Structure 1
Amino acid sequence: MSKHNPKGRDINGVLLLDKASGHSSNSALQDVKRLFDANKAGHTGSLDPLASGLLPICLGQATKVAQFLLNGDKRYFVRGKLGQISDTGDSDGQIVDFGSTKEVNQQAIKNVLLDFAGIINQVPPMYSALKRNGTPLYKLARKGIEVEREARPVTIHEIKFKDLEEDILSLEVSCSKGTYIRTLMEDIGQSLGCGGHVIELRRIGFTHFNISQAITFEDLIELKNKSLYSLDSLLLGADEMLPNLKGLDLNAEQTLDIKHGRKVLFSGLDVGQKIKLYDEKKQFIGIGENNVLSEVWPKRVFV
Structure 2
Amino acid sequence: MLATRKKKGRSINGIVLLDKPAGMTSNRVLQRAKHLYQAAKAGHTGSLDPLATGMLPLCFGAATRVSSFLLAASKTYLVSGRFGIATETGDADGIVSDRRDGPVIDEPALSSVLERFRGSITQVPPMYSALKRDGQPLYRLARKGIHVEREPREVTVHSLSLRSYRWPDFEFVTRCSKGTYVRTLVSDIAAALGTVGHVTALRRLEIGPFTGLEMHTFESLEDAAKRGLDALDKTLLPMDCALPDWPSLQVSSEIKDWLQHGRPVPANKSWALGSVRLYGPMNEFFGLGEVLADGQLVPRRMFPV
Q: CA deviation at 1:211?
A: 6.4
CA displacement at 1:166 relative to structure 2: 4.5
Q: Are 1:276 and 2:277 an aligned pair?
A: yes
1:102 Cα deviation from its structure 2 partner: 2.8
In 2, Cα distance between the equivalents of 1:21 and 1:294?
50
Q: Distance in 1 between matches of 2:106 and 2:98?
A: 18
1:221 paired to 2:218: no
How far did residue 230 of structure 1 move? 1.8
- Aligned-partner Cα distance in 2 for 1:206–1:177: 10
CA–CA separation in structure 2 for the residues paired with 1:183 and 1:6: 41
Contact 1:65/1:300, CA 8 A, preserved across alignment: no
Deviation of 1:226 (Å)? 2.1
Work out whether residues 105 and 167 of structure 2, in 8 Å CA contact, stay in contact via their aligned partners in 1. no
Q: Secondary structure at the match of 2:71?
A: coil
Question: What letter corresponds to residue 21 of structure 2 in structure 1?
Answer: A
Q: CA–CA distance in 2 between the matches of 1:243 and 1:61?
A: 17
Matched residue SS, 1:245: coil
CA distance in 2, matches of 1:151, 1:40: 35
SS at match of 1:288: strand
2:12 counterpart SS class: coil
Counterpart contact for 1:54–1:211, Cα < 8 Å: no
2:168 is matched with 167
Deviations 1:168-202 (A, max 9, x none): 11010111110000000000111111210011011
Shift of 1:139: 1.1
| SS at structure 2 position matched to 1:298 | strand
- Please give the root-mean-square deviation of Cα atoms over the aligned residues, in Å: 1.5
State the SS of the aligned residue for 1:223. Answer: helix
For residues 122 and 97 of structure 1, what CA distance do their matches in structure 2 show? Answer: 20
- 1:236 is matched with which residue? 237
Give me the whole-angstrom Cα distance separating, in 1, the residues matched to 2:198 and 2:132.
23
Q: Does 1:53 align with 2:66?
A: no
Residue identity in the other structure for 2:26: S
Q: Tell me if structure 1 keeps the 8 A contact 2:75–2:207.
A: yes
- Show the counterpart of 1:113: 114
Distance 2:194 2:152 in 1: 21
For residues 188 and 77 of structure 1, the distance between their equivalents in structure 2, rounded to whole angstroms, comes to: 16
* Contact 2:122–2:152, Cα closer than 8 Å, also in 1: yes
Q: Given residue 93 of structure 1, which amino acid in structure 2 is its aligned partner?
A: G
Letter in 2 for 1:165: R
Aligned partners of 1:17 and 1:54 also within 8 Å? yes
The aligned counterpart of 1:155 is 156
CA distance in 2, matches of 1:225, 1:7: 21
Point out 4+ residue stretches in structure 1 off by more than 6 angstroms.
Answer: none
Shift of 1:87: 1.1
* Contact map agreement 2:91 2:198 (CA 8 A) in 1: yes
Percent of counterpart pairs with the same letter? 45
Q: Are the counterparts in 2 of residues 101 and 167 from structure 1 also a CA contact under 8 Å?
A: no
Partner residue in 2 for 1:135: 136
In the TM superposition, 1:31-50 aligns within 5 A as 31-50=32-51
Residue equivalent to 2:3 = none
> By how many angstroms is 1:277 displaced?
0.7
The alpha-carbon distance between structure 1 residues 246 and 156, as it changes in their structure 2 partners (threshold 3 A), is: same
Q: Distance in 2 between matches of 1:243 and 1:164?
A: 36
Q: Match of 1:36, as an amino acid?
A: Y
The Cα offsets for residues 142-173 of structure 1, whole Å up to 9 and x where unpaired, read as: 11111111111100011000111351110101
Unaligned ranges ≥5, structure 1: none
Q: Which amino acid aligns with 1:184?
A: L
What do the CA deviations read for 1:247-273 (whole angstroms, capped 9, x no partner)?
1111111111111111111133454x1
User: Structure 1 residue 7 and structure 2 residue 12: aligned?
Assistant: no
- Paired residue type of 2:228: S
SS in structure 2 at match of 1:210 = coil
Cα distance in 2 between the residues matched to 1:212 and 1:286? 24
Q: Is the 8 A contact 2:70 2:207 kept in 1?
A: no
Which SS does the other structure have where 1:256 is aligned? Answer: helix
Question: In 2 relative to 1, CA 228–184 (structure 1 residues): closer, same or farther, beyond 3 Å?
Answer: same
- Aligned with 1:69: secondary structure? helix
- 1:181 is matched with 182
Measured after TM superposition, the shift of residue 208 of structure 1 is 2.5
SS at match of 1:162: strand
Once the 2 structures are TM-superposed, how far is the Cα of residue 61 of structure 1 from its aligned partner? 1.2
What is the alpha-carbon distance in structure 1 between the residues aligned to residue 139 and residue 278 of structure 2? 40
Q: Secondary structure at the match of 1:213?
A: coil
Cα distance change on mapping 1:107 and 1:163 into 2, 3 Å:
same
Residues 54-69 of structure 1 mapped to structure 2, 5 A cutoff? 54-69=55-70
- The answer on whether the counterparts of 1:42 and 1:63 sit within 8 Å (CA) in structure 2 is yes
